[in-house]
Every structure is written in C-alpha cells, then in structure tokens.
Structure 1
Amino acid sequence: MVQYGFFYDQSRCIGCKACSMACKVWNQIPPGPVKYMRVFEWEEGIWPMVRLNFLAIPCYHCEKPLCADACPAKAIIKEEKYGAVLIDEEACNPLIVNCNRACWEACPYGSIAFASDNLKEKAQKCTMCIDRLEEDLLPICVVSCPMRALDFGPIDKLVEKYGKKFKLTQQLKEMPEPDKTKPAVIIKERDPHKEIVPYSIKKVYELWRQRGPYADPSLPPVFNSDIDLKPEGVRIGRDKLVLKPKNIEELVYYTINDE
C-alpha cells in the first residue's frame, strides 16, 4: 500500500477557511458544526507582542488509526489504494451499538465530527476526497487554498519534495506525539518572528497616552500607566490550540465558525 497524505505550510496559512468552506460545499455538508477540515486560531505571547497561529487540519489518515481499533462496530476501515481511513456509514449505528463515541475518544486529533452533542449522532470525517482522487484530481481543500499552504500526494514523495527546502515535522508543539498513530502529514512550521523595523513598546504606550504625536498638549492623558490598559499576563483571545473541544459550542469557538 502506498500511503498518501498532506503537506501543510503553517507559515503560508492565513486562516481564511477557504479549505474548510470548499470541503463543506464539495461534500454537501449542511451549514453547522460538521467540518471535515477544521481551521484553528490561537494567540501566542502577551499583548501587544502577540502572534496569531493557524492550523488547518483534516483527518491525517494515520498509519495506525486508533479510531478504527476503538470502534466496536468495526465501522472504520483503512483502505488499501491510498491509505485513507474511512467510515462505513451503514455499519456506524450508535442507536444500536452504545459506543459512547469511542472513535472520537481514541483519535488524538479530534478528527471525527458529529452534527450535535447527541450521543446517537453518526460519526463523520474527512474522506481524503477519494472520489476526486479516482478522477486524478487533488483533494478539494488543497486546490481551494489561495496561499498554496497545502499539498497532497504519496507521503514519501512529499518528504522528498519539501524535505530539501524546509525543516519538516509531524507535530507542532501544541499537538500530540505522532509515534502512536503515525499520521500521514508533514508540516512546515511558521517562520520565527523577525523584527524588521525597530519597535519600542514604551514609545507606543507614551504615544497612546499623549493621544498621538500631534495632539493638543493641553488635553489630559488617555491613561496614567500601561497597567491601566490591561493587567500583565492576561491574553485577549484564544490562548491555546484545542484539537478536541468538549462539545459543539467549544468547537465553534475554537474554529471561529462564522457560518
């Protein structure tokens, strides 16, 4: 079996969610929480020195899919042609098999999707766009990315293609260890922050306090101290990557669902 998989360039991803929306359209997924391709956003650092991180993540179609091992109905299989991990919709029947979402519990990436928090909902997930692969087309998420942050193909070919140019990994620092599942993905982490223009936080604070460089000097200051702006150490928004939200509401929050 030749294992196909994804290349993801985090430094090119801008979190536009074009991949996620195209996936929903192609797979005829109704508006709502079900997403085969999720796009996470979280911040790093303390304001005003903050960086936004993005992660677009489908199913990684692992070499050792823990979700398949955990399914009591044996409804999750790994097909041989592309190495895709697929769900047999007929075999997946939580109404009969009281599985308590064992597949989702087992998957360290949270790639199994459900239409609601009702435990009787059937499992859904990324299909690797096998229907498109059979027509010699790339997965819809890959072709829809305007920044070309995604690529797809035999995983060894992707390593050969990108390994000479970039330092590759299978795990961002916020992600689980890849050893147990061997995910079919290689990732180029975003580039480290580079200070191109000298930047002084103290000068910024002082300009804000004085209402800018051209303000009337007779006007009172906007604030007396930078402590008045925001307590030190408090972040503004999402401060971590949460691959496995506890419920639909949390999933919507961490994937910035605007649908």
Structure 2
Amino acid sequence: MGFQPFGYRFEIKSNLPPKAAKAAIRSKKAGIFDPKDGARGWIAGPFICLWFSAFDRYGPMLFGLISADSFGTRVHGRAGSDLNGVLMFTLITAGVVVMMITDGAISATQPLAFVLVFLIGAPLIYWFAHKDRKDADPLVHFLRKALAQPDARSRSTAATRKLRKGLRLVLNGDYLEGPVTDEGTEAALMRVGNRGFLIIESAPQNYLQTALHDGGYVLEVRKGGPSQHYKAERYGRAAGSAALADDAFTFEEICETMSAYIAGADMPRFVKWRPLETQA
C-alpha cells in the first residue's frame, strides 16, 4: 500500500465511449452549489475533478483523466481526503523555502521555524492526509456507478423483486421522498461522507443504519426498545479489504445488507449481530 498523502490511485473502465461517459457523469452528479453532500465537480476536455461538499473547500476530492481505450473508456487518477489542501501546502512551503534561500534571507532564528514546519507540521499534515484518504471512497463509488451499464437480467430482477412497504430513507437527518428501492438506497449511500449517516426506517424504534468511519462502514440495527439494539460484526474476512476492522464493512457489503433488509430477507452470511450495551 505504501504512504499515500496525495490520495490513492484508482482506475475505472467502462464500455461507454468517452463522449457518452462524460455525459453520464454530468447527468448524475450534483450541482456545484447543491447544499447536500454528494459528488459534484467539472469535466474539461480529458480532465475530471470531483469533490464532495459545497462548503468544505478542503474535503474529499478526486482528480483524473478520461481517455479512450480498446474497451471503451478508461478513467484513472487519484482520490484523497484533501488533495487540494495537501497540494497547496506543499507548493507554498516549497516556494517559500526556495525564495528565502535564493534571496539569502534566512536569519539565525529561522532554522527553528523550519524545524517546526518540516519536522512537526508537515509530517502531521501528510499523515492525516494518508490516514483519511479513504474519505474519498464515495466519489470513486459514484464514478464507478455512473459509468456502469446494468445488464437486462439485473434490471428485470430489480423490477420483479418484492420490497417491504412502509420503509423510509433518512440521509444525514433528512427524510427522502419516494419508495425505498435498492437503486435509491445505493444512490443515497454514495452521498454519505465522513460524519454522515443513512437510515432505513420502518418505525422510530425499528431501523437499520450505517455511517462511514475510518475507510469502512459501520452498521447497526434496532428491532424495538434499547435492549434490542445490535451492532454488526464481520463473520469471516472482507474480500479485497483485509485491513478493515471486525466491525467495518465495504460499500458493496453494505449495499447487499441493505438490499436484504429492504426485501425482508435473511442477512448476508458475513454479518453477525452483537447486542449493544445499554446504560442504566
């Protein structure tokens, strides 16, 4: 994995031609000034830049290139928790040092300032950028979903699947309009950022909820009173995500679990429930 303060590399391939791929992304992304969290941004020629919030200039960001290949379209680049802030810090710091050395303006007291910046400040900034790089995962999930083309079988299955009635989606405290479906739930989950949450509710004391935390998703279910509140733990290992904690799940696993809850089906085999301790 290595140290990745400038985000992690991603690559997405689609059988859409580049022009159609760009149109699909534009049609599904949020408006730049949309007050609710979610992927937004711009496409200029082969370049794409997405970010998550209308208010946080230094939040999760994705930057990449869109190009044609033999398959259709390839999108690749980097995604991280604060690409904008880390890059600006690096460029400004390097520029200040070069200017001071070139002008001979370094005094006897300034080496201490350099030590504080380079040996304390910079490592902290880069470490937190590396640690929180997975905060940009919702942007990558959005891009992958926008460029995917479900086959006829999956569309037919979704149309005939029986779903529980009386469910409501709550995204970051706001109730969403319309019926609760797999597609709508997945779209809402892509708008859950750090400190956000998504709830599927059948009653005030009956719900399934998830939140993004440390690069994975935590999951809880409530089936009545406080004594029936459970937290999900993993049974087995996460495919392709061995570094996840026992109580953290991937985006795909959360989608599968929520799909089962919506349909009133058995939970996936990788989920086991542990009662949450309640305070007297």
- TM-score tier by shorter-chain length is under 0.3
Counting helix residues as a fraction of each chain, which structure ranks higher? 2
Counting strand residues as a fraction of each chain, which structure ranks higher? 2
- Report which structure shows greater RCO (CA 8 Å, sep ≥6): 1
